[in-house]
Amino acid sequence: MVVLLAAIFIAIVYRWISLERLQHVAPAEVITTPSPEPTPPRLPVITGKLDTAKLFNGVTLHATVETPPGADAATERLDPESYVLDLKLEARLPSPNRTIEELAKVSPQLPTLLPGLAAMLSPDPVSPLFAQLYNTKVKVLRENLVRLDQVLSRHNFYDCQTVLQLQHPQSHRNVLLIQADMDVDADGSDADRMPIGTGVTTNFKPFTSYRWGKKTPAPNPYLPATEDRLKRAEDESALKTITPERKRDLRNAITELRAEVATLKKFSFLIGATDPFIVLPGAFAHGKDAPKVGDYALVVFADAVYPAIVGDIGPSDKAGEASLRIAKQINAVSTPYNRPVSDLKVTYLIFPGTADKPFGPPDLDKLQVRCEALVKEIGGASAPLHHWENIIPPPPTPTPSPSPSPSPTLPSSPPTASTTPSASPSATFAFPIPSAAGTVSASPTPPAHAPSPSPSRRHQRP
């Protein structure tokens, strides 16, 4: 029986190979028409094995197969329109929250935490940035529709609840309010404050939009790896066997890597794991009165208010992102791959025009004072703002050189300045050194309301 099945299988394979050879040898039939119509542009061909059930994570998929009658198979095989997959993605555009009651449905504690917020809502407080954000999302969907692996997931499409332009009636302080989820930004590096890296993850970048001139000659911990990538790209570009297309790609990569090397040598940046900052969508940072990098901000979640600054600029089609430092404070199990808040329950308040120039290393004490003053300008807060502690360890104290032993033949004398180890001057650091009574933890305990994490958008496939 086994021998018979094997013989049948061999016969089928042989028949299939014969047909394939015959198809390549036999000339294709040329079909001519008296008045040929212009050929429409051919759509990109989807190749590879795609599991649509897994691919469209979060997208409801309705699949049908239609079989209208056609011509003979030889004719239909040559017609690209005979075998077509029509893709139609329907995405409803959300309506923004406008009233304090609608905001409270998402964040019930918000009106109590910020009692002056209701008075700042005008009859039509929705910012044009909300429509701009979703118009950008739709544009991205249309551009990537034939690349099914790059289509935004439903979670990432609906990542922003509202964007409001607010102004306090007495102080006239302007505020941009964004209600969204929270993804994680673990980017950034600063050899002056932390000479070692915090780890490289998918899509990690050693720099942030907020930067300042280096204060010490300490090399950036990610500089050697960037220089190594540059050297490998330059070596490959010098080969004579590479294709013109590869040559062009390498030329672009070399230009980018050279710029990165120069930037890492010249500047210091915020550190996602240690600095409290938020990320602004790229499209939000344009315009005269738009928020900018360096502006002070507040992050409100549940019953806590966290001081922050705008420290980085993200993609124009995504909203809701904060540094790993803030994420871990909200939920200690947050990582670059696990967002602390998946629901649209995080409120970001940005104070345009408040950035301090020139930029410099972050000062947590100053951040606290400035945000407390800004909160008072919008009616105050019913709970104290969270106080950030420094979690960057101080540099090791230099070991003093041993003093020379006095000669036994000479009478002892009091130590002089030349024989007493001199105390080295304390270095100036970006963060205040915490007192001995303070408790510093790299992984704060999350409040009881911390939700279960889910994959961070910055590091997940759409």
Digit-coded pLDDT (tens) for 446-460: 444 444 455 555 544
DSSP assignment letter at 12:
H
Please give the pLDDT value at position 404.
Answer: 58
Q: 181 with 159: CB under 8 angstroms?
A: yes
Residue 334: is its pLDDT beyond 60?
yes
Pick the more confident residue, 93 or 19. Answer: 93
Mean pLDDT of the chain: 81
Question: What are the C-alpha distances in Å from 427 to residues 90, 190, 215, 364, 443?
Answer: 58, 16, 11, 17, 26
Please give the pLDDT value at position 454.
Answer: 52
Helices 223-237 + 244-266 axis angle, to 10? 150
Measured CA to CA, the distance from residue 169 to residue 237 in angstroms comes to: 61
Residue 39: is its pLDDT beyond 50?
no
What is the SS3 assignment for 178? Answer: strand
Confidence of residue 426 (pLDDT cuts 50, 70, 90): very low
Residue 327: is its pLDDT beyond 70?
yes
Confidence of residue 264 (pLDDT cuts 50, 70, 90): very high
pLDDT by residue (tens digit) across 339-370? 999 999 999 999 999 999 999 999 999 999 99
At 143, list the tokens. Answer: 């551009």
At 154, list the tokens. Answer: 């439903």
Residue 307: is its pLDDT beyond 50?
yes
Confidence of residue 63 (pLDDT cuts 50, 70, 90): confident
Q: 310 with 280: CB under 8 angstroms?
A: yes
At 238, list the tokens. Answer: 């010098």
